[in-house]
Amino acid sequence: MRTLRFFDSIDLRWMFGLRVGTKTEEGGALVELALTMPVLVLLLVGAAELGWVTYASDEVANAARAGVSYGCQTSNTAADTVGIQNTAIEDAPDITLGTTTATLSCSCSNGSALGAVAANGGCLPSSCSTGQPETILTVQTQASVTPVLHLPGLPPSFTLHGQAIQKVMQ
């Protein structure tokens, strides 16, 4: 059995204001906060930058889909590269698209042979020996995104690419 000494009593220490053999931890939480705050801020900024780049990537991909949807309506709209570019730009209002390219190609419905593209954007009827010729429209978009804060180890800007491929309605 342990015997209590005079200064072991909590009530006496409080009453006399004595702090014999005790260490206080006042300010410890403030020191821990000061040490971890830069890491927390870096994580939050990194998450925000990742969110922005992901959003911009979605915008670039959606712009390519909008351009290919416009161009695949008829063979005339498939040849309208300015209209395809304007549709892609209008679909991505929050970012600045760098390059939007539209390419036409031909394939046969049975996959036997590839043919040439006619001047109006359609496939030549003689392109396929068997099967029907099909015109394929490919729209590629590109944008450069610069993060607000440059984090060490990451490039100063990111180039994002989008691509959509669809068969043109005949």
Q: Which residues contact 141 (CB under 8 A, 6 or more apart)?
A: 60, 61, 63, 64, 67, 88, 92, 97, 99, 100, 161, 162, 163
**pLDDT score of 78:** 86
Q: What is the rounded CA–CA span in Å between residue 137 and residue 80?
A: 11
Question: Is the CB of residue 151 less than 8 Å from the CB of residue 53?
Answer: no
Note the helical H segments in 72-144. Answer: 75-78, 81-91
**pLDDT score of 122:** 61
Model confidence over 82-114: pLDDT tens digits?
A: 999 999 999 998 889 998 999 888 877 777 656
Enter the tokens of residue 58: 């979605």
pTM above 0.75, yes or no: no
Model confidence over 137-163: pLDDT tens digits?
A: 999 999 999 888 777 787 888 899 999
